[in-house]
A and B are shown apart, each in its own frame.
Chain A
Amino acid sequence: MKIYSLLADKISKTFNSQKIFKNVSFNAFVGNSIAITGSNGSGKSTLLKILLKYIHPSKGDVKYFCDNKEIESQIIYQNISFVAPYFNLYEEFTALENIELAIKLKSKYISNDLINDELNRFSLFNHSKKEVGHYSSGMKQRLKYCIANILKSDFIFIDEPTSNLDDEGKKIVFDFLKEIQSTSCLIYATNEKDELQFANEIVDLSLLNLN
């Protein structure tokens, strides 16, 4: 079993000379999940996107390690899954087609009944043939979790885990978070107090915030 870890080293981000946060450092690994908290606009989502290497940090850098060997940022996408309310799946495809696309691109081979179990777990089984465009926002969010769980990526990033979810959805996601906390390196952003239970280390951006 390879040990994966992520090192954030003094990351700071300024946007056109307006400082968002400074010197964020932590080391995330399997079993040491990180929660990023802070008031709205303190840059939680920006920090998450920097960790994903989707946004360049102004200072400091993000390094991924597999058995203490740095992973080149060109191929880091293979080990990452990201769940957030502000991106969409392919709405003209059905749930199965979206899942199939993700599986093929990550060259993973997963049997159909395992997929059906996962869909069942996230209570999407009887909608799996419908186009994602007709899904409610809660169902779309659950489908993103379902894809992340099927791929079993080593790094899982989540922005506002329980957004657009009803109580039943929250329960499913809480079980999911508890389960993956021990299997993959979890980093998530939230400001709901009851979600902090899944983190071993909390990074509070409001303290580091300057403005």
Chain B
Amino acid sequence: MILFVVILALLAAGVVAWASERLSKDAPRLVSIMAFGAGLVWSAALWLDGADANGLYAAMDWPWIARFGIHLALEMDGLSLLMVALTMFLGIVAVVSSWDEIEAAHGFFQFNILWVMAGVVGVFTAMDLLLFFFFWEVMLIPMYLLIAIWGHEEKAYASMKFFLFTQISGLLMLFAILALVYVHHGATGEITFSYKALLDAEIDPRIAIWLMLGFFVAFATKLPSVPVHTWLPDAHTQAPTAGSVILAGILLKTGAYGIIRFAVPLFPEASADFAIWAMLLGTVSILYGGAMAFSQSDFKRLVAYSSIAHMGFILLGVYAFNELGMQGAIVTMVAHGFSTAALFMMAGAIQQRLHTREMGQMGGLWKHAPRMGTMTLFFVIASVGMPGLGNFVGEFLALLGAFQENWVMAVVATAGIVVAAVYGLYLMQRSFQGTPNPDVASMRDFGLREMSVMAAMMAGLVWVGVYPQHVLELSNATIQTLGILP
């Protein structure tokens, strides 16, 4: 019940934000911040309150479409709570990061942000496959609008590409969902989209592999993994800052979440057979994403490719099929949410100040904006995988887990941390270090508003890096119940 209310509340807040546009320019974003703030407080309260005997923090189950046994079934376990809390937090970050950037239609902008997040919360809590798919698609449209309306010069191309990739892969998933349901129907005579019922579905292995691939393709596209990653650099480059923050921080995680929650548990045997290929994709993503990141001269594009590399660790970890790998993947999800969101916020801030994303037109920005330089340095270092910060914990665990399963793959993937250093430091060099660019006369440094968000993200990364136990405990409860570990 409360989960449904939260989703509705976010939707309603979107409408309120839109309507409040008439009051003042600031009203919509204040509505947003309050909504996300309340959401964050709510998730924290749930966390402090603890789970019930089944490991759930909240649950509900209402019939929705009786004809197909579709339910409004929402549940929040540890992993869901973790992801929802991250969503709420990054919601605030997104709003703050686009504070000065949006010049028109503030109300509609916040409306879209809130609606994306509502969809995301649905994705992270849905316990009915169709409901999941429903939310999966619901979050796309406002995201599309964010890019299409407030994007940069190539927004038409980028937003279309984003939508086509995710939508087409989503169609495959819908097909797989329906096929799964009808396979289950054939065996039991019952039509249901209930996640828990379908977990027990007995599927012919020859069919299972194809159904699993239907899910996997959708999630791998969203993640994204090589070779279906090419929408991401374009989408990120063109999206407004808030869009990039949400996209990198949250939407990519829905892909990872989908793999952990659906693709693997629904088809454990098929996934085990497929694991080696998934790990290979992960490894290739790490290296290829890293190499591509180095090639870029556009700040945001570079960070976008680095996201692909980071997401490779998630594939590698999850398909290692052990606790270490799985936990590594989940910690990576959280940590990457912070570090990349911050870097995109930085990219947005630079673009807004210099009207360019080309690093060739930056250089020596530290001189004008030491705070921004320091922040960039911090988050670059985090994404390079410095121990003591969150990304390291995730990546190390993922690699450690992968090594148990397939040492060759893990060894190759570990080389990715060298590549990460290469592109990460090169980014730093070309933007903030080096000879100050004479064309840049001055640049406004970060103020209190930006710094407070940055500080929160730094604190988050240090927290996850030094004492990841809170995250690990939340996700551990879920991992154990999914029954995917040997």
Asked if chains A and B come from one complex, the reply is no
A residues with a Cβ closer than 8 A to B are none
B residues with a Cβ closer than 8 A to A are none
